[in-house]
Amino acid sequence: MDTVFIIAEAGVNHNGDIKQACKLIDAAAEAGADAVKFQTFKSEKLVSKSALKARYQTENTADNDDSQLEMIKKLELRYEDFTQLKSYCDMIGIRFMTTPDESESADFIYDLVDVYKIGSGELTNIPYLKHIAAKGKPIILSTGMSFLGEVEAAVNAILQTLPEINSSFPPLTLMHCTTDYPADYEDVNLKAMLTMKNAFNLPVGYSDHTMGIEISIAAAALGATVIEKHFTLDKNMEGPDHKASLEPKRLKAMVTAIRNVEKAFSGDALKKPTPNEMDMRLLIRKSLIADRFLKAGTRLAPDMFSIKRPGNGVQPSDLDKISGMTLLKDLPEDEMLTWKHLK
């Protein structure tokens, strides 16, 4: 991939409503994201009855007595809904993605996705990682909550299982992230993304759970090949992830900023003026300007000149060079010395 691949993470911010999901697709496309991503799961296969809700989930949902299972059941879409969403994405012109959260859903989405995105919660689920790797599609793996050794075990399991594939995506991309909603800036530890890149010689990206867009932009500048960011139509909607998500205008601002960062890194790395700078050099740089009327035949000395704009005459850096030279024609006061006066 020559450009940063930007995933607009809709997740479960559709609140179980396929119409809302389609509006999220529209917003992601309008923002200029490369892909919009959902989450596909069967609640009973993902969460046990005894699983508690995370603190942020309790804070952002009205039914505080609900278990985690009861909460995500309300956010579950049917398999046929994802088939419709894939078709809608194709019609709109944005790539459809969805994270499967258990094996049955991973099998179901095989024909719907070009790339498997695996969430941080599955990093140590080695049987699951092998199950997906055996399908022979590129994998983007989030690494939140993990130690480097756990990432290494996951990488080895995937690469040992993944068959050779032919895709514009790398076989495996590692996503640094902080699994907290929202994540504090002090907890981002963005340099860990580079640690993984160096440790595994794999492309890396960043899954951003902070409230702003700055860290995604910084990650792109550091070399992230994939950026993932949660978004919503309205941060005030009820649901576990809305508060820590961007609204459409901010999502678009993030995409625009990342594309601008890409442009800034597109040069040839040679230190030289741009064509526009060549014009500015004449206006902004300075030349030697006569402090007084200098008659032809005058032997030049440094104290005869001021240094002023514009910059298309003899440069201040040549002051020592012209000292002692003879002026060939008159130079009026406050006029620029040129090489024609000396040749």
Tell me the pLDDT tens digit for each residue of 178-223: 999 899 999 999 999 999 999 999 999 999 999 999 999 999 999 9
**Does 342 score more than 60 pLDDT?**
yes
Q: Residue 139: helix, strand or coil by DSSP?
A: strand
Taking all residues of the chain, what is their mean pLDDT, rounded to a whole number? 94
For each of the domains in the chain, give its residue range(s) and CATH number, in order of start: 5-264 (3.20.20.70), 275-341 (3.90.1210.10)
> Residue 311: phi, psi to the nearest 5?
-110, 25
Q: End-to-end CA distance of the chain, in Å? A: 56
Q: What share of the chain is helix, strand, coil (3-state, %, to 5)?
A: 40, 15, 45
* Beta bridge partners of residue 299, listed in sequence order: 326
Instruction: Find out whether 276 and 302 touch, Cβ atoms under 8 Å.
Output: no
**Does 139 score more than 60 pLDDT?**
yes
> pLDDT class for 63, splitting at 50, 70, 90?
low
Residue 16 Ramachandran class (φ > 0 left, ψ -120 to 50 alpha, else beta): left
Whole-number Å distance between alpha carbons of 125 and 118: 11
**Does 58 score more than 60 pLDDT?**
no
Tell me the pLDDT tens digit for each residue of 90-114: 999 999 999 999 999 999 999 999 9
